Amino acid sequence: MSTPVLLTAALVSYAAAWLFQIAEFREGRASGRPRSLVLAMGAMCLHLVALLVFWRTHRTPPLAGFGPAAAFLAFALAAGVLLASRTGERWSAGLLALPLVIALLATSLVVGAVPAPVDPRLQGPWLVTHVVLVLGGYASLLLASVAAAMYLFQFRALKRKEFGNVFRFFPSLESLDRMNGIGLAGGLSALAVGLLMGWSLSLTFERGLALGDADVAFGLLTWAAYAVALGARRGRDGFGPRQARISVSALLVSGLGFIAFRTFGPATELFL
C-alpha cells in the first residue's frame, strides 16, 4: 500500500481511539488496558509502516518537507504518549494529546507527504540525527504542556472538591508533575543538541547560523519559551498551578511563533 493510504488508515484509527477515550472519560474509567489504548497502539503500528514505506519509496527518511515532518512529529508524539502510558492512569493524557496527533497527521495528508529537495551536501546521518532530535524535542515539549494542562484541570477539581470524571480519569497531581518535568528536561535537551548539530552542519558548509531562517528562528523561540517554563519549576515553590500555566503558555507562544514564521518568514527547504 502507498504512504497516503497507510497514513489515512492510521488517522482513522487514531480518531477512533480518541472517540473511545472520550467515552471512557464520560464513564470515569482509567484503569486496566482500555480499548482506546489498544486502538492507539494499532494506529501507531500503521503509522510506523507508513513512514517506512515512505522511506523505501523515496529513498529518504520522512524528515525533509513540511508534510513528511508533520507525519514524523505526529508519530513521535503518539510514541511519547504510549511510552508514558505504562499504567491506564497515564494513558488518560491521550485525551488531550491525541487531537494534536490527529491534527498533525491530517495536515500532513492535506499538504502532501512529499520530500522537499535538500542540498546533497547536507544529506547524511548527521542531518537525520539533527532533525530527529529537534522533532523529538518538540514532541516531548508538547507532552509537557499536555501534562501541565491536565494538572490545571485536576487541581481545579480538587480545589472545588468536585470528585467527578476529571478526578477519576486524570492522573494524580504528582504523576502529572513528573510527566511535565521529564517532558521539559528531555525536550529541551534534545532540542538544544539538535540545534547545535544543525549549527555545526551549517558551519561545515560555510552557511553560518541563519537566524533569519524560519527553522532556526522557530527552534530558538520554542527553546526559550520552554526554558522559562523549566526555570519556573526550579524555584522555591516547585511545581504548582502558576508553573503549569507557564508551561501551557509556552505552547501558545511556540504555536503563534510557528504561524508567524510560516506566514511571514522566508521559505525553508528543511522540515518546517
Which amino acid is residue 90, in one-letter code?
Answer: R
pTM of the model: 0.87
Domain count, the chain: 2
Q: Is the pLDDT of residue 93 over 60?
A: yes
Q: Is residue 112 domain-shared with residue 128, that is, in the same domain?
A: no
pLDDT at 163: 73
Q: Is residue 101 domain-shared with residue 161, that is, in the same domain?
A: no
Q: Is residue 125 domain-shared with residue 177, that is, in the same domain?
A: yes
pLDDT at 208: 46
Q: Is residue 97 domain-shared with residue 150, that is, in the same domain?
A: no
Q: Is residue 215 domain-shared with residue 100, that is, in the same domain?
A: no
Q: Is residue 104 domain-shared with residue 190, that is, in the same domain?
A: no
Query: Considering 117, 146, 164, which residue would you say is the last residue of a domain?
Result: 117
Residues spanned by the domain of 90: 1-117
Q: Is the pLDDT of residue 136 over 60?
A: yes
Q: Is residue 151 domain-shared with residue 239, that is, in the same domain?
A: yes
Query: Considering 67, 102, 117, which residue would you say is the last residue of a domain?
Result: 117
- The span from the CA of 75 to the CA of 191, in Å, is 17
Query: Considering 117, 138, 157, which residue would you say is the last residue of a domain?
Result: 117
CA dihedral 147, 153, 159, 160 (to 10 degrees): -160
pLDDT at 272: 47
Q: Is residue 133 domain-shared with residue 224, that is, in the same domain?
A: yes
